[in-house]
Amino acid sequence: MTSPHIERALFGRTGHQSSRVIFGAAGIGTMKRQEKADEVLSLLLEFGVNHIDTAASYGDSELRLAPWLRTHRNDVFLATKTDDRTGDGARASLERSLERMGVSSVDLVQLHNLVEPDEWETTHAPNGAVAALARARDEGLVRFIGVTGHGTRIPAMHLRSLERFDFDSVLFPYNFAMLRSAAYRADVESLLGVCSERGVAVQTIKAVARRRWAQDSTEPHFSWYEALPPGDALARAVDFVLGREQLFLNTSSDSRLLRPVLEAATRHGGVPSDATMQADADALGVSALFDGGALERI
C-alpha cells in the first residue's frame, strides 16, 4: 500500500513543482553502509518527495546519493551547497560535488551559511564565489543559485544578499520558538515580502527542533540539536511551517524522523494557534537554538 504523496508547489521562479517537504540529505552523510542510505532514500519514492538538498560539507552524503541518482536523477530537483567564498574555491567545490554524485549538473547550488561580513564581501567580490557560480550557470553546470544560513542574523543578511545578486532561493531557520523573538519575526516577514515580490523560493530549516542537547544527555546524537519526538507536537511543528504556502520544509539530519515528518505533512491539518504551539513548547521544554548572543553559532 503506497503512502499519500506530499503536496507540491512551484519552487520560486524555477518552474519546478517541488514537494513542499525537501529531503535534507545531511543524515545519510554519516551512514557507513550504502544499504542504510538506500533504505532512507526509498521513503522519497514512497511519499513522492522530488527535491533533495545536500552539501559538499555533509560528510559522505553526495557519495551516498550517487547510486540512487543513477536511476532517479531525472525524478528530482537536486541541490547542493559550497562553503567556499572565493571563485576558484567555489568552482572546485561544485566540480567535486558533480563528480561525487556522478551527475553532469545540479539544479541548484547554494552558498552555505553566508552570514559573516568578511565572508560576504569576499563572496560578492569580482573574483568571488557568486561570479564563479554565475559562470558555471552560463556553462550549464548548474541552473540556479541560492544562499543559505543559520542563526538570528540570517534573514537580514539574506535581504542584503538579494540587494547585491538576484538569488533564486534562500534558506533560514523557521519555527515557533525562534519566531517568538519580535526582532527575528520582523526580519523574516521583511524577507518573505521581498521573496514573494521577486519569485525567490523560500526553504526553512529546524522545523522540528526542540532545543540544544543538554551536556549530560546520553541519547544518540543524530543531529547537533535535540529534535521533537515523533507525535502530535512534531506534527503541529510541521503544520506550523507548511501552513504558510510560501514555505518549503527541509527535513532534519536525524533520519529516524523522516517518516514521521513525511506522514505529518500528508495529514497537514492547517496552522496551529500560537496558544497550542506555546503549550507544546511549555510541555516539552522547547527553546530557540539561536539567541543572537552566546547561542548564535552552531
Specify burial of residue 216 (Cβ count, 10 A radius: 0-12, 13-18, 19+).
Answer: exposed
111, 146 in Cβ contact below 8 A?
A: yes
Residue 3 lies in a domain: no
- Cα angle 168, 223, 247 (rounded to 5 degrees) comes to 30
Residue 213 CB neighbour total at 10 angstroms? 13
- What pLDDT does 215 receive? 85
Lowest mean pLDDT among 39-48, 61-70, 102-111, 262-271: 262-271
Q: Provide the CATH number for the domain around residue 216.
A: 3.20.20.100
| Mean pLDDT within 151-164 | 97
Residue 160 lies in a domain: yes
Residue 157 CA to residue 168 CA, distance in Å, equals: 15
Query: Is pLDDT of 59 > 60?
Result: yes
Residue 31 lies in a domain: yes
170, 201 in Cβ contact below 8 A?
A: yes
Residues in the chain: 298
Query: Is pLDDT of 1 > 70?
Result: no
pLDDT tens profile 158-200: 999 999 999 999 999 999 999 999 999 999 999 999 999 999 9
Specify burial of residue 101 (Cβ count, 10 A radius: 0-12, 13-18, 19+).
Answer: buried
**118: helix, strand or coil:** helix
pLDDT tens profile 195-241: 999 999 999 999 999 999 988 888 888 888 999 999 999 999 999 99
Total of domains in the chain:
1
**280: helix, strand or coil:** helix
- What pLDDT does 104 receive? 98
Q: CB neighbours of 177 closer than 8 A, spacing ≥ 6?
A: 209, 281, 286, 287, 288, 289
DSSP annotation of 12? T
Residue 298 lies in a domain: no
Residue 156 CB neighbour total at 10 angstroms? 17
Residue 296 lies in a domain: no
Q: CB neighbours of 8 closer than 8 A, spacing ≥ 6?
A: 17, 18, 19, 20, 48, 50
Confidence category of residue 292, pLDDT binned at 50, 70, 90: confident
Angle between helices 258-266 and 232-242 (to 10 degrees): 60
- What pLDDT does 219 receive? 82
CA 58 vs CA 27, 29, 154, 227: distances in Å = 8, 5, 20, 19
Residue 99 lies in a domain: yes
Closest residue by Cα to residue 111 from 96, 133, 127: 133
- What pLDDT does 297 receive? 75
Residue 17 lies in a domain: yes
- Cα angle 174, 97, 144 (rounded to 5 degrees) comes to 55
Residue 98 lies in domain: 8-284
Residue 2 lies in a domain: no
Dig out the grid coordinates for 263 from the structure.
506522514
**pLDDT, mean over the chain:** 95
DSSP annotation of 128? B
